Amino acid sequence: MRMTFKPGTRFVVSSLLVTTVLATAALDLALRPAAAQTAPAAQGSDIALPAITVTNVVTRKVEDHVLASGLISPVEQVAVVPLIEGQPIETLEADVGDTVKAGQILAKLSTATLTLQQSQLKASLASAQSTAAEAQRTADRTAALFAQGSAPSATNDQAQSALIAAKAQVAAVQAQLDTVALQISRAQVVAPVDGVISARNGQIGAIASAAGQPMFVLIRDGALELRADVAEADLPRVKEGQTATIRLAADLPPQTGKIRLVEPTVDVTTRLGRARIALDHPDQARAGMYAEADILVTARTGLAVPVTAVGSEGSETTVMTVKDGTVHRTKVTTGIRDGGWVEITSGLAEGDQIVAKAGAFVADGDKIKPVSTATN
């Protein structure tokens, strides 16, 4: 049988189809957010952790150094002057740079005048001795007569007084003669100590005198030292007996030395103290040279970390330790800084793993992927 529809009936069927399509679309839209929310959750377990370079706390030798600089100077200078005045310089037996021994003749003064005085005094001494001998005989005879009662007491007293005066004259002339002999012996200018001549001011023909410049200047035993200026803050750490490496000017090889003295004062203008460092090989240097010193203050073995691993948190010094992939901010106490290393005196143990660079973008509690680096 053939079915027929009225126009109103066709409209109702179309409305039902539209309603069904819209309902299906709404259900699809309602389900999509739930699916979108589950996707990140499924991916969360696969998030890549940041790769951070780590290193281990090691035990190594650390050294504390103080740097200083100054000029090379003699440890002790000895001025050599003539011991007698008024005599011309006859010869000069040594020159600048010579190494001399104690007692070695450096110069000779003219002795012509002194020798003449010596001859005159010898004649005077002979005369005085003759007078004294005659006075002795007279005194002996007078004393014998006085003992027999043949000579008065006054005569005996006069004879004894004359003898005393004659003997005094002999002694006086002898003293003058000894003085001239001493002056003649001192006409030779000798080195009082072993050393190296650093200056010669005497000139042949000049009148020798102790006034003015010395005839010679000696560096005692040739010993030289570096008078090194030390910063005021470093001065308390510098002690007598510490060793130093000294670098001289030009291409001279470095040499070693030892602090023999730390001066007790600080310059009020420069705020620098001074340490005197005796050179182990003074023959390789010259007085007046500029030099730099690396003074070894302390050397010990202890825990150390790279200086880049150390940071700060307020007033505290810290490093970032790593345990089971988690970062922990750890307070430490530091000691000597030796180049690129810092001594750790407390807060860490050997073998602890730490972040190699304190400036890395990690915070306390962060999870990381540690990447080890070799420790040199």
pLDDT tens digits for range 144-200: 998 888 889 999 899 999 999 999 999 999 999 999 999 999 999 999 999 999 999
Domain stops at, among 250, 280, 299: 299
- Residue 30 lies inside a defined structural domain of this protein: no
Exposure letters 246-256 (e unless 16+ CB within 10 A, then b): bebeeeeeebe
Both 349 and 314 in a single domain? Answer: yes
State how many domains the chain has. 3
Domain stops at, among 299, 321, 347: 299
- Residue 265 lies inside a defined structural domain of this protein: yes
Q: Quick check: 26 pLDDT over 80? A: no
Rounded-to-integer distance, Cα 364 and Cα 331, Å: 12
What's the whole-model pTM score?
A: 0.68
| Residue pair 165/65 in contact by the 8 Å Cβ criterion | no
Both 86 and 184 in a single domain? Answer: yes
C-beta neighbour count of 124 within 10 angstroms: 17
Rounded-to-integer distance, Cα 273 and Cα 287, Å: 20
Both 57 and 87 in a single domain? Answer: no
- Residue 42 lies inside a defined structural domain of this protein: no
Both 245 and 176 in a single domain? Answer: no
- Residue 12 lies inside a defined structural domain of this protein: no
- Residue 274 lies inside a defined structural domain of this protein: yes
Rounded-to-integer distance, Cα 145 and Cα 320, Å: 120
Both 334 and 289 in a single domain? Answer: no
Torsion region of 106: left, alpha or beta (phi above 0 gives left; psi -120 to 50 gives alpha): alpha
| 3-class secondary-structure state, position 31 | helix
- Residue 198 lies inside a defined structural domain of this protein: no
- Tell me how far CA of residue 259 lies from CA of 43, 82, 240, 245, 365, in angstroms: 69, 35, 5, 11, 50
Q: What is the CATH number of the domain that holds 227?
A: 2.40.30.170
200's tokens: 């010669």
Both 286 and 365 in a single domain? Answer: no
Both 91 and 155 in a single domain? Answer: yes
Domain stops at, among 243, 267, 299: 299
Closest by CA position to 193, among listed 102, 103, 106, 104: 102
| Residue pair 156/143 in contact by the 8 Å Cβ criterion | yes
C-beta neighbour count of 315 within 10 angstroms: 5
pLDDT in tens, 107-133: 999 999 999 999 999 999 999 999 999
Both 56 and 71 in a single domain? Answer: no
- Domain extent, residue 368, equals 52-62+301-372
Query: Which of 226-235, 255-264, 278-287, 355-364 has the weakest average pLDDT?
Result: 355-364
175's tokens: 């003293």
- Residue 35 lies inside a defined structural domain of this protein: no
Q: Exposed, middle or buried, 186 (CB in 10 Å: 0-12/13-18/19+)?
A: middle
Percent of the chain whose pLDDT exceeds 90: 76
Both 90 and 185 in a single domain? Answer: yes
Residue 129 has a pLDDT of 94
Q: Quick check: 40 pLDDT over 60? A: no
69 phi and psi, to 5 degrees?
-150, 160
- Residue 241 lies inside a defined structural domain of this protein: yes
Both 136 and 58 in a single domain? Answer: no
Both 306 and 334 in a single domain? Answer: yes
Q: Which helix (H) or strand (E) holds 197?
A: strand 195-200
Of 362 and 293, more confident: 293
- Tell me how far CA of residue 187 lies from CA of 122, 133, 182, 359, in angstroms: 20, 34, 9, 79
- Tell me how far CA of residue 330 lies from CA of 49, 58, 344, 354, 371, in angstroms: 22, 17, 12, 10, 20
Both 97 and 180 in a single domain? Answer: yes
Residue 372 has a pLDDT of 87
pLDDT in tens, 267-317: 999 999 999 999 999 988 999 999 999 999 999 999 999 999 999 888 899
Residue 184 has a pLDDT of 93
